[in-house]
Copies of this chain bind each other. A is one copy, B any other.
């Protein structure tokens, strides 16, 4: 008897959360496929099986929805990066571990990766935060590596961080949209080698 109203509330909350999640998922998929600018709220609503108005019940506006998709993507990415204990790893292994995490995130959430790494989104106010995180994260890694002597000290860390973000955006965004076009290990190998050794022939 006491449980009933609570049960009803819970059921409603669950259904509400399900609706929100459905909108979020479909928006991510559509944003990944066609870009956020050319995906209309009408199309998102249809894909999620709700009315247009429902989107505005769960998100402030279209930009807020994009923001939330990007936030979810960032959260997932951070989760993936946080899985392995990286404290005791040396430079090269640390890089490999990080690149593996980035690749796995892309593999597990291809739509989120495609949106997060969609250059068009990185250009919008909503995406700048994500961009800044990636940039900062790369820059921090570089600074730490230089201090520890793992990286060369004569690099322009801002530029290199930007270059690394460029690689991630291009390679992982593309892989997110075409998961079958390359294997996980090919992607990881490319990212690691580009960062560690460049392309000159091994000794």
Contact = CB atoms under 8 A, between A and B. Distances in A.
A184 to B, nearest CB: 12
A94 interface: no
Interface string A177-203: 000011000110111011111111110
B162 A171 contact: yes
A48 B163 CA distance: 34
Which of the four size classes fits the interface of chain A?
Answer: 35 or more
Interface in A144-166: 145, 149-153, 155-156, 158-160, 162-163, 165-166
A47 interface: no
A179 to B, nearest CB: 13
Given A156-B190, A190-B156, A169 B119 contact: yes
Contacts of A170: 162-163, 165-167, 169-170
Given A159-B171, A166-B170, 7 more contacts: A92-B200, A152-B200, A158-B182, A163-B167, A167-B170, A196-B198, A197-B197
What 3 pairs between A and B have smallest CB-CB spacing?
A: A119-B119, A166-B170, A166-B166
Interface of A: 35, 37, 91-92, 118-120, 122-123, 142, 145, 149-153, 155-156, 158-160, 162-163, 165-171, 174, 181-182, 186-187, 189-191, 193-202
